[in-house]
Amino acid sequence: MRIRARWLLAAALLGWAGSAIAAPVVRPHAPPVPKPLELPPDSSMPPYHGSLDHVAYGLSGELRFAEDRTDGASNPDWFSFGEAGGFLFAHLSSRLDLAGQGLWERVADDFTLERAEVLLRVKRSMQAHAGIFLAPLGRTNLSHDAPSYDFAERSLVATQIVGVPHAQAGIGLRALPRGTSASQILWEADVVTGYDDGVITRAPGGTRIPSGRNNYGDQNGLPMLTGRVARRTSSGSEIGIAAESGPYNQTTLGGVHVDDLRFLHVIVADGNTTWSGFRLFSEVAYALIDVPPGLASLYADRQCGASVEAVRPLFDPLFRGWAGSRLNAGLRLDAVDFDRSIAGDSRSRLSASLNVVPRSGAVTRLGWYYEIRRDRFNNPTHLAGLTFTAASYF
Amino acid sequence: MPHPEKHSADDVTVDQGRKAGRVVQRAYSRGQRPWRIAAILAICVLGLHAMGCEKLLTAKPDPGGRFDAPLPGLDNGELGDFQDGHAQFRKAFSIADGLGPIFNNVSCASCHSGDGRGRPENTLTRISRDAVDLAVDLGGPQIQDKCIPGATPERLPSGVLVSYRMPPPVFGVGLVEAITDSSILSHEDPGDSDADGISGRANMVTPAFYVPGSEPGGPPGPRVGKFGRKASVSSLLQQTVEAYHQDIGMTSSYRPVENVNPVASHAAVDPARDPELSDAEIENVMQYMRMLAPPAPGASTASRDRGQTLFTSAQCVKCHIPTLHTGPHEIEALANRDVALYSDLLLHDLGDGLADNRPDGSADGKEWRTAPLWGLRIAREFLGGQLFLLHDGRAHTVDQAIRLHGGEATAARDAYLALPVEDQAALADFAESR
């Protein structure tokens, strides 16, 4: 019985991997199968794999096989789900849409409700939205599905400073892109619940902003403001700056005043372009945290991080007649400093990846990373790993 | 799911991929195919190499060069307990976990760098009115200068006796625990009967009420105090429980009531239900510390051999006794062996210069437990290149530490000072090679 279960598991794994690796050859004039719902002019939606009249839906997932080591000791978790998510889009009328999306991820071992929002096209170039949505805090937070990502892990600045995926309840306005050919300014401005005091209270060992993410309720009656302005050129390059700012903590507990209002400010700049065949992307974040005085010197009031990545297609198409398939190589350097006031409490990582993209929306990656973590004494811990990941939309 | 504001990542990828593909095709025509193949080969070779190369997938550190290595000779079960305890020792507590309401730091490892000694910023402040009155009504016996929101941190009150204590190393405490009382007491000379000016005595202490009799150092008391700068604790369990309670603000079944600031206008508490630690978590950390090996001493050199000879001739060994002997222990690796800790674990008067003038149990304000000389060889690596020696870290070199000795150590110190400079250096080199 146990042997049969093992074979079934192996078959299921091979099937999953196969769906990403051996995707059907898409001939230049063949219609996409299955046919997705015709979506509004905003063409940024993922490749939906099913449609029911006005509803489109789909799934995404990632499998991870790895040999991870910490100071030479192997991590026994050689296989895991990297992430699993689902999404749904309902086109109710020419102006009104509903969107829902959820994601479970291995790194945080947490489920995030990324979207549960109503979208109302106010005018041709502007959309209002309300509900739960991803804060526009950098490009990675806005677009981080595993199948469209070039590395097995998201950057440290994204996961450790911004807290990708970082979704909140709120309401706001944003510009709708005018196709992809024109140079344009894009923007979004939202009033959201903001990070909560998990930034401090659920953060073991020091300030950790992601511990206060995914806050769907406000603790102090005052919202945070978040927004992003970006310039996108006709060639696809983009540079953007985003911020989120406001009070994060609980000031009263059971009617008793326990703390003053404390503010958190996160600023993120990102940019991407192509140069000599390389696709370059960088994201930088800086955070200022008003820490309660009783925690000063242990909990950081300033944090920062940066990542730079370069991806180059080596073969496109990977095989003749297999349109859309390609082989990419990528290199990323990223680092975060959790406490600007001391030498330690930081992480830096180098990642390399060789990706087979059989079709748009699926990828298999062979990756390697080397990371140095430093504790507050500045003592290093070395981590490294070889990873094989397969991610796809379904 | 990509955000409406931006291109679909796939769109971007496809567009740019096609663009790059055209570049690649042009490269074909220019005969540049080899670099692409070389790039792929390089990455594949890197991957394959990584599978067999320790450095690309991190190398195991030399266990003799670390403070967090297990004792040799542990069985698989003990090594499993060691790993569990290691994780618990490193675990940083959040407010949601029960940190506070008042505390000094967030984890064991936050004070003990690399599981060794601490830095000056981790110094603890102990207060009392005398040997018996620990000034609990003023925040004693230890000042907690950090607090969670809503609580008030403690501040040093006036009119109390104060002692500043650096976090000591935690490796080797299992061996210290296993050293028999008789082995320690055999070196006592409270009346200085041999008239050598050295009169070591044990700090006989009563174990805390919660320490069971089955625990080493447990009742019936009084027992020989082995832990702490003044040897005021006899049991590793007590040391662990009190460190969690006093330093981190974590309650346990042994100390189930939160430590609060007695002079604060209201007693804020953390949101976690008490006890915040299970007995198993306490046990894990205790067992981990028990099984921590002292780092290996440095290799023998001519200078160190000379220093060792001088260490003996200068009478340093009168207190820094090279070896003590352990008795039976449930952990085989700790049982019936010599321990080269260079300490007699007894109290000695070290003079006015080092006195904190704060009695602790039966230890008076000038007495300190002889500090074991181990782990010094690699201490700088874990302290940002510096050394912080003596109870309050005031000495930054072995030479400085020796010069600060007084009281019963006066003769040995003077003998050291009388040595030629190169011999002083050799002696210090030997001590720092431990």
CATH numbers and ranges of domains, chain A: 2-23+47-393 (2.40.160.10)
pLDDT of residue A47: 58
Which residues on adjacent β-strands are paired with residue A115? Answer: A101
Interface subset of A 31-70, CB within 8 angstroms of B? 42-47, 67, 69-70
Task: Select from A349, A357, A353 the least CA-distant residue to A330.
Answer: A353
Beta-strand runs (E) in B194-303: 204-205, 223-224
Residue with tokens 């941190």: B153
In sequence order, the 6+-apart residues with CB closer than 8 A to the CB of A275 are none
pLDDT of residue B361: 84
Let me know if B206 is exposed, middle or buried by CB neighbors in 10 A (0-12, 13-18, 19+).
middle
Instruction: Report the C-alpha gap between B56 and B171 in whole angstroms.
Output: 30
pLDDT of residue A217: 83
A75-89, A98-112, B21-35, B394-408: range with lowest mean pLDDT: B21-35
Most confident of A43-47, A256-260, B52-56, B104-108: B104-108
- Note the helical H segments in A311-370: none
Beta carbons of B86 and B107 less than 8 angstroms apart: no
Beta carbons of B169 and B116 less than 8 angstroms apart: yes
pLDDT of residue A4: 46
% of chain A exceeding 70 in pLDDT: 87
Instruction: Report the C-alpha gap between B99 and B272 in whole angstroms.
Output: 8
Average pLDDT, chain A: 87
- Binned at pLDDT 50, 70 and 90, residue A43 comes out as very low
In sequence order, the 6+-apart residues with CB closer than 8 A to the CB of B397 are B387, B389, B428
Chain A residues with CB under 8 Å of B271 CB are 201
In degrees, rounded to 5, the angle at the alpha carbon of residue A250 between the alpha carbons of residues A249 and A251 is 110
- Binned at pLDDT 50, 70 and 90, residue B164 comes out as very high
Residue with tokens 């005043």: A257
pLDDT tens digits, A212-250: 987 888 888 899 999 999 999 988 899 999 999 999 999
Task: Select from A118, A115, A114, A117 the least CA-distant residue to A96.
Answer: A118
Task: Select from B307, B281, B304, B312 the least CA-distant residue to B91.
Answer: B281
pLDDT at B32 over 80: no
CA distance B32 to chain A (A): 12
Instruction: Report the C-alpha gap between A59 and A78 in whole angstroms.
Output: 24
Q: Which pair of tokens denotes residue B376?
A: 């010094």
Instruction: Report the C-alpha gap between A280 and A329 in whole angstroms.
Output: 12
Q: Smallest Cβ distance to B54: which of A72, A312, A327?
A: A72
Task: Select from B119, B176, B105, B180 the least CA-distant residue to B147.
Answer: B105
Q: Is A232 on the interface with B (CB under 8 A)?
A: yes
pLDDT of residue B15: 45
pLDDT at B27 over 60: no
pLDDT at A311 over 50: yes
pLDDT at A189 over 60: yes
Beta carbons of A216 and A132 less than 8 angstroms apart: yes
Instruction: Report the C-alpha gap between A331 and A353 in whole angstroms.
Output: 6
Which residues on adjacent β-strands are paired with residue A40? Answer: none
Chain A residues with CB under 8 Å of B51 CB are 67, 386
Q: Smallest Cβ distance to B150: which of A148, A259, A386?
A: A259
Residue A215 identity: N
pLDDT tens digits, A328-377: 999 999 999 999 999 999 999 999 999 999 988 899 999 999 999 999 99
Residue with tokens 């050199």: B301
Which residues on adjacent β-strands are paired with residue A310? Answer: A280, A331
CA distance B398 to chain A (A): 22
Beta carbons of A237 and A190 less than 8 angstroms apart: no
Chain B residues with CB under 8 Å of A42 CB are 4
pLDDT of residue B48: 65
With CA atoms as reference, the chain B residue closest to A258 would be: B150
Hey, are the CB atoms on B94 and A253 less than 8 Å from each other? no
Instruction: Report the C-alpha gap between A212 and A317 in whole angstroms.
Output: 43
Hey, are the CB atoms on B39 and A314 less than 8 Å from each other? yes
CA distance B85 to chain A (A): 16
Instruction: Return the SS3 of B81.
Output: helix
Whole-prediction pTM value? 0.86
Residue B123 identity: T
Hey, are the CB atoms on B20 and A312 less than 8 Å from each other? yes
pLDDT tens digits, B37-77: 667 777 677 666 666 666 788 988 888 899 999 999 999 99
Q: B12, B26, B56, B58: which to substitute to probe chain A, counting the most A Cβ within 10 Å?
A: B58
